[in-house]
Structure 1
């Protein structure tokens, strides 16, 4: 009799465990699409009026804040001309950080055979920025390299001054 009772209990328990051999659960899949990062130019770079020695080369360093300093044979005449750091408006997802890539150098040309190099680009913010309220302005400065007795004239870039931004 005990054997019959044990057998019936084993059969009942075994049949219940078979009912629960397969279980299922569900999950939710989500994705968040962030606003694309964008960059637009709001001001061109302009080193203003500069003069150079007949015998000594020099540089004009334009800071991202728009101030200039000179080295070597470069000087700033009393008539300064228009002086601007380049400025770019960045837009995208609020609170996101992004990286800033600046050019290594560009060439300026007077429309003839005379050229100057612009290099050592710097920016504010430098390297990375944060899109506070979804926007930020990046100001870009650089160093203008003048040869001794650099020919007078108005020089403009022959290669693009390209600033690239990308979400981190």
Structure 2
């Protein structure tokens, strides 16, 4: 029995000693770290959106495509008396060959005070010349696109110049 107890004691000490030796062993690895700073993305308006002139005999819409092509529905009748119809145009700058997304507004209000009373028209359904709202900067870091929208005309809309002097925001972000 004494031999068994001694043998068990020796085995226990060996296990403790082996664990201590194994616990002191370690390994390590290193990981290189890097980053790249790219040119900041920027956007500049190169042309404002102008729906041009029209006459109204009732409610309808005036659509300006991103290719600056106008069409009318309902009581809206296109004229060319004043103003040259143009889609809004934007220039984008940034890191060459990088992709970017654009965010267009949901709506905008045009206002006139021609009769002394403020009257408005809603502009919505903004579209761009970029497929799916995504662009790619050329190797030199530039690109451009155009934006169109729909002008909603109410029945009995007051005659006058309607404006939104602050304009609408278009946002670009690298993707």
TM range (shorter): 0.7 to 0.9
Q: Is 1:141 matched up with 2:148?
A: yes
CA contact (8 A) 2:111 2:162 kept: yes
Say if 1:78 and 1:91 are closer, same or farther in 2 by CA, change over 3 A: closer
Q: 1:47 to 1:78 in 2, by over 3 A?
A: closer
Name the SS of the counterpart of 2:155 in structure 1. coil
Give the distance between the partners of 1:159 and 1:72, measured in 2 at CA. 29
Point out where structure 1 has 5 or more consecutive residues left out of the alignment. 1-20
Helix, strand or coil: the match of 1:33? coil
Q: CA deviation at 1:28?
A: 3.5
Aligned residues: 146
Alignment partner, residue 34 of structure 1? 38
Q: Hey, what's the Cα distance between the residues in 2 that align with 1:81 and 1:154?
A: 11
1:141/1:31 CA distance change after superposition, 3 Å: same
Match of 2:161 in 1: 154
In the other structure, the counterpart of 2:138 is: 132
Corresponding residue for 2:70? 68
Where do 5+ consecutive residues of structure 2 fail to align?
A: 1-24
CA displacement at 1:113 relative to structure 2: 1.2
2 CA distance for matches of 1:73 and 1:34? 51
Measure how far apart 1:77 and its partner are. 1.7
Question: TM-score if structure 1 supplies the norm length?
Answer: 0.80
Pairwise CA RMSD: 1.8
Residues 54, 80 of structure 2: 8 Å contact kept: no
| 1:82 partner SS | coil
TM-score using structure 2 length:
0.77
| Other structure's SS at 1:73 match | strand
Give the distance between the partners of 2:121 and 2:165, measured in 1 at CA. Answer: 10
1:1-168 matches, cutoff 5 A: 27-53=31-57, 56-79=58-81, 81-111=83-113, 112-126=117-131, 127-133=133-139, 134-157=141-164, 160-168=167-175
Per the alignment, residue 3 of structure 1 pairs with none
- For residues 149 and 66 of structure 1, what CA distance do their matches in structure 2 show? 26
